[in-house]
């Protein structure tokens, strides 16, 4: 992996850090200047501890879940780095933070399991701070369980106050007892916070937070709150700064990017935002996720079809092929309208790659419903699909529905579906065999000697002979051989 070891902070934030250096002055009430003050304070505390111990302090942030969490973790790492921590790849660090996910139950189970093993680490290093944040912490019973059964956890915060991490870090460094700060709602968006990017040449960019859809199986609207869009000018400014720092590809992130801009003072559509981003010179590729089928506009199709930079790949979660279940899932589209949308997309962009999410075993799913899902999968021909076993999430409408499907039936359906999506995906994603395509080179291949790995605009992975100096560049590669979900190629 091409680790970018420098933290990226904007010019504005650098100025704030130096403006907020005087610890005799109280911190500002709010905003990024306040966070800058706390980063400076954390740096003092970390440096005192370093002198005490005679060594550097280390930190490790572990991410569970989606790309939003990945991006949040980059911001958390940026702050830890500015506070003076050295990054550690392993969890035997002085500050270990789990950024959690709760979309399915097994994500929670994994966190509890790993927390158990961390307690052994802590015995070796009593000064160690174990911290938890993210979606799982927005659930009251989780926080209660942490409070009572995992008393060695020293800091807990949620999704709504992540932008106040610097001050929570200071609180945990100063306090003997656990700091637990989870709020149900906080509408402020703090701009300009620093981030430590995993890749120097590509970056996620949040364009909105939260979700208003309340799909009946989904816990996200309860833990991430209501939908809120960032101001277009803030987004454009962030991307311009990223571009100046070497980023050529951005992934615009939101739970439902197609409804971007609704609550803004001067409303702007997602298609409009894309056109603004397209104008930023040094940005060569634009991706986005996730698209809700019900909000995908003709304008967006038009803008995508005419764009030179927007990648020809759309992640379009279908969840089920049964119109009956889609209604109960509260998805606001039918099998027919979804297929019609796919037709319109493919008419405008015949080479478009489509990927999706599918849930198997939603309450009341019959064999007929399931066969509708198998049918839509065959008709759409996805490049790939994420298949999930329905997970009952307390508090969602689906959790109290009757007719929960038995585990055995779900397993059988899941296996049949997986086989089919893999067979079709292999077929579909090999359609570019023999063609030459621009590939963004991402990293050195870990298994194949002298090979690099990159991605086409369609999000297909290609391995080809090359050197490290190609990392971050877009080069032409002939896709010689399709091998299932990836290609072997050569530079031309």
Q: What residue ranges bind ligand 5AD (CB under 6 A)?
A: 103-104, 217-218, 317, 319, 357, 359, 388, 390-391, 393
* 386 forms part of the interface with ligand SF4 (CB under 6 A): no
Question: Shortest distance, CB of residue 338 to ligand SF4, whole angstroms?
Answer: 14
> From the list ligand SF4, ligand 5AD, none, which binds 256 (C-beta under 5 to 8 Å, kind-based)?
ligand SF4
Put residue 390 in one of left, alpha, beta given phi > 0 → left and psi -120 to 50 → alpha. Answer: beta
Partner in contact with 214, chosen from ligand 5AD, ligand SF4, none, beta carbon below 5 to 8 Å by kind: ligand SF4
3-class secondary structure, 144:
helix
Binding of residue 76 to ligand SF4 (CB under 6 A) = no
In angstroms, what is the minimal distance from the CB of 268 to ligand 5AD? 25
What is the distance between the alpha carbons of residues 336 and 91, in angstroms, rounded to a whole number? Answer: 49
- For 421, list phi and psi in degrees, rounded to 5: -65, -30
Closer to ligand 5AD by Cβ: residue 104 or 309: 104
Shortest reach from residue 319's CB to ligand 5AD, in Å: 5
Q: Which does 202 bind (CB under 5 to 8 A by kind): ligand 5AD, ligand SF4, none?
A: none
Contact between 328 and ligand SF4 by CB under 6 A: the answer reads no
Smallest distance, ligand 5AD to C-beta of residue 398, A: 7
**β-strands 179-181, 153-157 pairing:** parallel
Report the residue number, 156 or 218, with the smaller CB distance to ligand SF4: 218
In whole angstroms, the minimum distance from the beta carbon of 339 to ligand 5AD comes to 18
Contacting residue, 170, 182, 211, 280, with ligand SF4 by CB under 6 A: 211
What are the residues facing 129 on neighbouring strands?
95
- Contact present, 175 and 149 (Cβ < 8 Å): no
Residue 83 or 289 with smaller CB distance to ligand 5AD:
289
Q: Does 255 bind ligand SF4 (CB under 6 A)?
A: yes
Question: At closest approach, how far in Å is the CB of 119 from ligand 5AD?
Answer: 29
DSSP string over 161-202:
TGGGHHHHHHHHHH-SSPEEE--S----------B--SSSSE
Secondary-structure breakdown of the chain: helix, strand, coil percentages, each rounded to the nearest 5: 40, 20, 40
- For residues 34 and 393, which CB has a smaller minimum distance to ligand SF4 in the complex? 393
Give the C-alpha separation, 115 to 130, whole Å: 9
Which residue lies nearer to ligand SF4 by CB, 201 or 338?
A: 338
Which range binds ligand SF4 by CB under 6 A, 23-31, 108-116, 218-226, 235-243?
A: 218-226
CB 421 within 8 A of CB 383: no
Report 285-304 residues binding ligand SF4 (CB under 6 A).
Answer: 292
Q: Which is nearer to ligand SF4, 323 or 480 (CB)?
A: 323
C-alpha distances in Å from residue 100, one per residue of 69, 133, 190: 8, 6, 21
Among the listed residues 96, 97, 215, 289, the single contact to ligand SF4 using CB under 6 A: 215
Task: Single out the residue of 416, 385, 345, 360 nearest to residue 485, CA to CA.
Answer: 385
Shortest separation between residue 92's beta carbon and ligand 5AD, angstroms? 32
Beta bridge partners, 290, equal: none
Distance of CA 253 to the CA centre of its chain: 7
Nearer to ligand SF4, 83 or 398 (CB): 398
3-state SS, residue 120: helix
CB of 366 to ligand SF4, least distance (A): 22
Q: Helices H, strands E: what count in the chain?
A: 14, 19
Measured CA to CA, the distance from residue 306 to residue 302 in angstroms comes to: 6
Stretch that binds ligand SF4, among 58-66, 127-135, 208-216, 437-445 (CB under 6 A): 208-216
Among 16, 156, 169, 218, binds ligand SF4 (CB under 6 A): 218
What residue is closest to ligand 5AD based on CB?
357
Confirm if 398 and 105 have CB atoms less than 8 A apart: no
Q: What are phi and psi of 291, to 5 degrees?
A: -100, 130
Applying CB under 6 A, does 35 fall inside the site for ligand SF4?
A: no
The C-alpha angle with vertex 247 and arms to 79 and 14, in degrees rounded to 5, equals: 35
Judge whether 46 and 85 are in contact, CB under 8 Å.
Answer: yes
Omega of the bond leading into 290 within 30 degrees of 0 (cis): yes
In angstroms, the CA 345 to CA 334 distance is 17
In three-state secondary structure terms, 80 is helix
Q: How far apart are CA 79 and CA 131, in angstroms?
A: 14
Q: How far is the CB of 224 from ligand 5AD (least distance, A)?
A: 12
Task: Give least dist CB 187 to ligand 5AD, A.
Answer: 24
From candidates 221, 272, 438, 465, binder to ligand SF4 by CB under 6 A: 221
Closer of 84 and 210 to ligand SF4 (Cβ): 210
Residues that bind ligand SF4 (CB under 6 A): 211, 213-215, 218, 220-221, 255-256, 292
């Amino acid at each position: 992996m091409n680790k970018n070891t420098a933290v990226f902070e904007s010019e504005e934030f650098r100025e704030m850090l130096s403006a907020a250096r005087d610890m005799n002055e109280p911190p500002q009430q709010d905003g990024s200047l306040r966070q800058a003050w706390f980063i400076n304070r954390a740096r003092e505390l970390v440096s005192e501890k370093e002198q005490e111990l005679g060594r550097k302090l280390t930190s490790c942030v572990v991410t569970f879940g989606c790309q939003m969490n990945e991006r949040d973790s980059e911001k958390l790492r940026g702050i830890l780095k500015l506070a003076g921590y050295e990054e550690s790849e392993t969890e035997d660090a002085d500050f270990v933070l789990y950024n959690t996910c709760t979309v399915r139950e097994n994500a929670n189970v994994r966190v509890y399991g790993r927390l158990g093993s961390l307690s052994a680490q802590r015995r070796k290093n009593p000064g160690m701070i174990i911290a938890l944040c993210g979606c799982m912490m927005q659930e009251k019973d989780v926080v209660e369980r942490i409070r009572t059964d995992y008393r060695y956890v020293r800091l807990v915060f949620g999704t709504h106050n992540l932008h106040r991490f610097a001050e929570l870090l200071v609180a945990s460094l100063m306090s003997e007892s656990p700091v637990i700060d989870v709020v149900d709602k906080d509408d402020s968006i703090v701009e300009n916070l620093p981030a430590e990017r995993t890749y120097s040449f590509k970056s996620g960019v949040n364009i909105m937070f939260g979700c208003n859809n309340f799909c009946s199986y989904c816990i996200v609207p309860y833990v991430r709150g209501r939908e809120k869009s960032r101001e277009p000018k803030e987004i454009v400014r962030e991307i311009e700064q990223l571009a100046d720092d070497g980023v050529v590809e951005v992934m615009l992130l939101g739970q439902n990017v197609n409804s971007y801009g609704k609550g803004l003072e001067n409303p702007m559509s997602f298609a409009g935002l894309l056109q603004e981003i397209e104008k930023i010179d040094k940005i060569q590729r634009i991706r986005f996720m996730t698209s809700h089928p019900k909000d995908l506009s003709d304008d967006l199709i038009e803008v995508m079809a005419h764009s030179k930079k927007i990648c020809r790949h759309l992640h379009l979660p279908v969840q089920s092929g049964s119109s009956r279940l889609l209604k109960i899932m509260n998805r606001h589209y039918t099998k027919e309208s979804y297929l019609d949308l796919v037709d319109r997309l493919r008419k405008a962009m015949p080479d478009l790659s489509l990927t999706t999410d599918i849930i198997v075993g939603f309450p009341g799913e019959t064999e007929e419903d399931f066969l509708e899902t198998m049918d839509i999968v065959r008709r759409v021909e996805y490049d790939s699909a994420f298949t999930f076993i329905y997970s009952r999430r307390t508090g969602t409408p689906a959790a109290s529905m009757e007719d929960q499907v038995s585990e055995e039936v779900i397993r059988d359906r899941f296996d049949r579906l997986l086989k089919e999506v893999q067979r079709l995906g292999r077929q579909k994603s090999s359609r570019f065999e023999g063609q030459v395509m621009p590939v963004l080179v991402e990293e050195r291949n870990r298994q194949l000697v002298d090979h690099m790995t990159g991605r086409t605009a369609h999000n297909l992975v290609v391995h080809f002979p090359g050197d490290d100096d190609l990392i971050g560049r877009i080069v032409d590669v002939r896709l010689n051989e399709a091998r299932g979900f990836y290609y072997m190629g050569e530079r031309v």
